[in-house]
Amino acid sequence: MEFMLVVVLLWTTIFVFLSTLVYRWIFSSKDQQVPRGPSALPIIGHLHLLGPNLHRSFHQLSLHYGPLLHLRLGSVPCVVASTPELAREFLKTNELSFSSRKLTPAIKLVTYDASFAFAPYGPFWKFIKKLATQELLGSTNLRNFEKIRKMEVHAFLSDLMRKAKVGEEVNVTEEIMNLANNIISQMMFSLRCSDGESDQAQQARTVIREVTEIFGEFDVSDIIGFGGSLDLQGIRKRAKNIHTRYDTLLERIISDREILRSAKRLQNKEDGGSNEANDFLDMLLDTMENQTSEVKVTRNNIKAVILDFFTAATDTTSIAIEWALVELINNPRVLEKAQEEINKVVEGKHRLAEESDTPHLPYIQAIIKETLRLHPPIPMLIRKSVNECNVAGSKIPAHALLFVNIWSIGRNEKYWENPLEFRPERFLEPNGDGDPSRIRDIKGHHFELLPFGTGRRGCPGMSLAILELPNILALILQCFDFEVPTLHAGKTEGTGLDMAERPGLTAPRANDLICRLKSRIDHPLNILSSPQSQDMF
Ligand code: HEM
């Protein structure tokens, strides 16, 4: 036993010594300036400096050490960039070097090691990207699905109106998540997650939250370099559990669809009808069955890609709407101005806001931008270098992790006047030089504001989000006023709703938004349509 201990200690000492040498060698080039950073500890590097909300820890470190930080997380070299200029250097000037993401053991386990969002920049990624942007999220499909989005939003509003009528408390966070969930599942597999009452609907929401949480965690056993089979924090055990639950949900949906497809084929053979693809699941199954497809898509790929889109679309959209509502409840002047704009444009109580009203609701659009500036649902763009490169005068080794801290950039007073103030008007004013074309947009062209990322690896769901977010917000504000209990979880008396965030890959509010709603519409049922589709569970 003692002998074993001596051997382990000896190996650990040799490992620390060698890794320090390698680390110094990598970053010792005399003609390259190494990004600044605090001193690292042996083995763990800078892990001890990081709190649960990584973007906040990095922000604090960059205030002290400058906007380009070099850190070591265990054995993994990392760079953190916290200005628009650096974001441009990494994501535009050196785009191809930073067009991949890091696969952690947890991500591999949950996503069958077959994901699109974590795939290297290569043929599989390009194939799914094309399918997603031209078909699922292409302009024709987005237009075709407008009716479905409208029905889903109306179902959501009518549920809230029922609760408002009887004075029931509403968990707005959960309701919005259901809505986002229903919209994306309708688009992907023509099913809805139901009204949220079934166990399985609840399971689907829980899995999504758990996925984004676990993807944002650092697996110490993985990053200190010698923990191949260790699972010090139990992350891999949790990942396997999430994977199993998700797999059960998805297998059921895919098997049902396969039965339906066989029946349709039989029918088509009999009556000579066509066999065209309907939704994303059909498109993916068609590709899997097509022996001559340019890229081989497996059943695991299908499940992983569905998980990618399902989680990416549900969590981000609902987080953005919730932060917008919380900011509005805390800023009654902005809320009043927004409701006035809606009343004027959609003539208050005769009809509900439509997506086509959005261009006439500039203040609502500005509220969305201001929300995404202060509370980007994905607070950091995380990429991996595929080769050694020089960026902003610094040598970045191959396989280094890059964090572009968009949360920090949105709060930097060098780029935003009174950055902590929630002031949507800033998006309606030209930047002091009278040129309206310089008003910052959120589409990845202005590096001060990158809520959807930028370039090839930028968010493929941006067009859908840009349609959904202002419309859903406008409808909630048109239909309801909010009554937040004075002393409720997430509210401190006199100081408004709290702004604490939950850790993870995304940054949702830590406490659910729970409040009573007061209807602002006299005869809501006359102007609401209802959903007509099969429930998912
Ligand atoms: C408020 C809404 C949303 C926000 C703020 C958001 C934000 C982001 C960000 C920051 C990224 C990483 C970009 C980068 O690395 O440059 C991303 C990637 C992604 N998003 Fe979104 N997103 C939203 C909605 C959606 C929707 C509605 C979908 C699907 C319908 C979606 C699907 C994806 C996928 C699949 C990726 C991975 C892309 C890749 O790796 O190539 N997102 N999103």
Which CATH number characterizes residue 253's domain?
1.10.630.10
Please write the tens of the pLDDT for every residue from 325-383.
Answer: 999 999 999 999 999 999 999 975 678 999 999 999 999 999 999 999 999 999 999 99
Helix, strand, or coil (residue 185): helix
Per-residue pLDDT at 196 exceeds 50: no
Q: Has residue 535 got a pLDDT over 50?
A: no
- Assigned domain for 489 exists: yes
93-115 pLDDT, tens per residue?
A: 999 999 999 888 899 999 999 99
How many domains in the chain? Answer: 1
Predicted complex ipTM exceeds 0.95: yes
Ligand 1 pocket check for 416: Cβ under 6 Å: no
Cβ contact 172:488 at 8 Å: no
Q: Do the domain assignments include residue 432?
A: no
Cβ–ligand 1 contact at 185 (below 6 Å):
no
Q: Is residue 18 part of a domain?
A: no
Q: For residue 457, which atom of ligand 1 is closest to its CA?
A: 41
**85 assigned to some structural domain:** no
Domain-located, residue 175: yes
Q: 3-class DSSP state for residue 306? A: helix
Distance of CA 108 from the midpoint of ligand 1 (Å): 19
Distance from the CA of 45 to the center of ligand 1, in angstroms?
30
107 lines ligand 1 (CB under 6 A): no
**pLDDT (mean) for 306-317:** 91
- The pLDDT of residue 204: 73
Q: With 0-12 CB in 10 A as exposed, 13-18 as middle and 19+ as buried, what is 371?
A: buried
Cα 311 to ligand 1 centroid, rounded to whole Å:
10
Take residue 390 and report the two structure tokens written for it. Answer: 């020089």
Tokens representing 360?
């006439």
| Domain assignment of residue 312, yes or no | yes
Distance CA 201, CA 160 (A): 18
pLDDT at position 23? 54
What was the pLDDT predicted at 210?
86
**Cβ-proximal residues to 9 (8 Å cutoff; 6+ apart), any chain:** none
Cα 137 to Cα 86, 230, 303, 506, distances in angstroms:
30, 40, 18, 22
- Does any ligand 1 atom lie closer than 6 A to the CB of residue 460? yes
Q: Is 306 part of any domain?
A: yes
Determine, yes or no, domain membership for 84. Answer: no
Q: How far apart are CA 496 and CA 331, in angstroms?
A: 9
The pair of three-digit structure tokens given for residue 113, joined into one six-digit string: 């090691």
Choose one of 188, 452, 472 to mutate for the ligand 1 pocket test, by most ligand atoms within 8 angstroms of C-beta. Answer: 452
368 close to 324: Cβ distance less than 8 angstroms: yes
Atom 19 of ligand 1, residue of closest alpha carbon: 459
Q: Which residue has 């960039």 as its token pair?
A: 81
For the purposes of burial, counting CB atoms within 10 Å of the CB of 17, is it exposed (0-12), middle (13-18) or buried (19 or more)?
Answer: exposed
468 lines ligand 1 (CB under 6 A): no
Residues 302 and 285: beta-carbon distance below 8 Å: yes
Distance 121 CA to ligand 1 centre (A): 16
5 pLDDT tier (thresholds 50, 70, 90): low
Strands 401-405 and 380-384: antiparallel
Tell whether 459 is in a known binding site: yes
Enclosing domain of residue 168: 105-373+450-533
Q: How far is the CA of 459 from the centre of ligand 1 (A)?
A: 4
Contact partners, residue 428, CB within 8 Å, separation at least 6: 362, 363, 366, 439
Residues of the chain with pLDDT > 70: what percent? 83
